[in-house]
């Protein structure tokens, strides 16, 4: 499959054809994850650095598993165990990594634009695993892949993104990706948790959850990112949960076969009721499974592109 991108920084750089390539490649790798022996030699001899300057469970682990199932070697680097903690600049850290000649660097960083900064300074592939509030392209792609497993097409589907949109790179990437495939996106949040550029996003904005849910085909709940928020954006968690926690009763306003998603980690009883997170229409664990297949596809496409010298 032809792939022209050195790095994956945001979904905005992808065409509809690129997205189709990722979906088809992920589908071809999904079967590997169901085998008794979950490993193929596709990237044998290749090396992937997992550079996570922010805590992560799902993203880091799924990239690690994805690379290893393709037989690549992985090397983990966290801020707490690196010279960043000693005052080394991000530039010097990545130039040091580049000198070790990896085939790809997967980076998560608290600063928006960090992945782009790194991509311009190294010759290997750079995969953005989340940079500040800016973007989380592989999460949006795995969300799309998960919904593709339910629907043949997203055309005409309505997806509600609910919660802390202002601080969510997941919401921003999904607002760019899902409309490309024909979905209608609604954002629902308190006014204080909507970004200043909300009007520029390809989405309809709601402040009333009951109204936002009418006719919805899927609802994506977002975690309240209290670590990124300024004081005073919310009166308290109880009041937020009263108005914006997704419950079975509230979800009855949506379409009968509505699906529920959450990028994790989940704060049960705050963003989503515990019984709903575990219900039959919840795709939360499907998203985790999809993440491995999609990240296998992303690593394969970017590393083999480097081999071909395109």
264 labelled ligand-binding = yes
- Structural domain boundaries in the chain: 11-135+289-308, 151-282
Nearest to 205 by CA among 187, 184, 183, 220: 187
**Topology alike, domains 11-135+289-308 and 151-282:** yes
139 labelled ligand-binding = yes
User: In the predicted model, is pLDDT for residue 229 greater than 60?
Assistant: no
Identify the band that residue 292 occupies on the pLDDT scale cut at 50, 70 and 90. Answer: very high
For the ranges 177-186, 190-199, 281-290, the lowest mean pLDDT is seen at 190-199
Looking up tokens 């880091």, which residue turns up? Answer: 60
305 labelled ligand-binding = no
Q: Over the stretch 34-64, which tens digit does the pLDDT of each residue have?
A: 999 999 999 999 999 999 998 888 999 999 9
Annotation: CATH topology of 151-282: Rossmann fold (3.40.50)
User: In the predicted model, is pLDDT for residue 303 greater than 90?
Assistant: yes
191 labelled ligand-binding = no
Query: What global pTM score does this model have?
Result: 0.93
86 labelled ligand-binding = yes
User: In the predicted model, is pLDDT for residue 296 greater than 60?
Assistant: yes
Annotation: CATH topology of 11-135+289-308: Rossmann fold (3.40.50)
User: For the residues 78-87, what does the mean pLDDT come to?
Assistant: 65
User: For the residues 180-206, what does the mean pLDDT come to?
Assistant: 91
Q: Over the stretch 233-258, which tens digit does the pLDDT of each residue have?
A: 566 788 889 999 999 999 999 999 99
Contact predicate 243/162, CB 8 Å: no
User: For the residues 78-97, what does the mean pLDDT come to?
Assistant: 77
Beta-strand (E) ranges in the chain?
Answer: 47-52, 73-78, 104-109, 125-131, 158-162, 184-188, 204-206, 218-221, 259-261
Identify the band that residue 227 occupies on the pLDDT scale cut at 50, 70 and 90. Answer: low
User: For the residues 121-147, what does the mean pLDDT come to?
Assistant: 96
Q: Over the stretch 146-163, which tens digit does the pLDDT of each residue have?
A: 999 999 899 999 999 999
């Amino acid at each position: 499959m032809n792939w022209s991108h050195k790095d994956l920084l945001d979904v905005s750089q992808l065409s509809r054809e690129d997205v189709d390539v990722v979906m088809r490649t992920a589908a071809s790798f999904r079967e590997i994850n169901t085998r008794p022996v979950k490993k193929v030699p596709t990237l044998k001899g290749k090396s992937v650095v997992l550079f996570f300057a922010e805590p992560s469970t799902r993203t880091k682990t799924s990239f690690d598993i994805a690379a290893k199932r393709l037989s690549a070697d992985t090397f983990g680097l966290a801020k707490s165990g690196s010279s960043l903690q000693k005052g080394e600049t991000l530039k010097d850290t990545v130039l040091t990594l580049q000198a070790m000649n990896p085939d790809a660097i997967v980076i998560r960083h608290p600063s928006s634009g960090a992945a782009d900064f790194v991509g311009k300074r190294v010759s290997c592939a750079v995969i953005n695993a989340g940079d500040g509030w800016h973007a989380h392209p592989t999460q949006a792609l795995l969300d799309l892949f998960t919904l593709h497993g339910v629907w043949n097409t997203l055309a005409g589907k309505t997806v509600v993104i609910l919660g802390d949109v202002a601080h969510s790179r997941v919401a921003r990437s999904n607002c760019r990706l899902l409309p490309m495939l024909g979905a209608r996106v609604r954002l629902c949040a308190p006014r204080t948790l909507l970004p200043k550029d909300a009007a520029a996003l390809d989405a309809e904005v709601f402040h009333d959850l009951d109204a936002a849910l009418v006719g919805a085909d899927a609802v994506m709940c977002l975690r309240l990112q209290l670590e990124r928020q300024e004081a005073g954006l919310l009166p308290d968690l109880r009041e937020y949960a009263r108005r914006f926690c997704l419950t079975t009763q509230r979800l009855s306003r949506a379409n009968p076969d509505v699906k529920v998603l959450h990028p994790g980690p989940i704060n049960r009883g705050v963003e989503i009721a515990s019984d709903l997170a575990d219900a039959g229409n919840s795709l939360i664990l499907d998203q985790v499974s999809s993440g491995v297949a999609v990240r296998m596809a992303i690593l394969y496409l970017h590393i083999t592109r480097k081999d071909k010298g395109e």
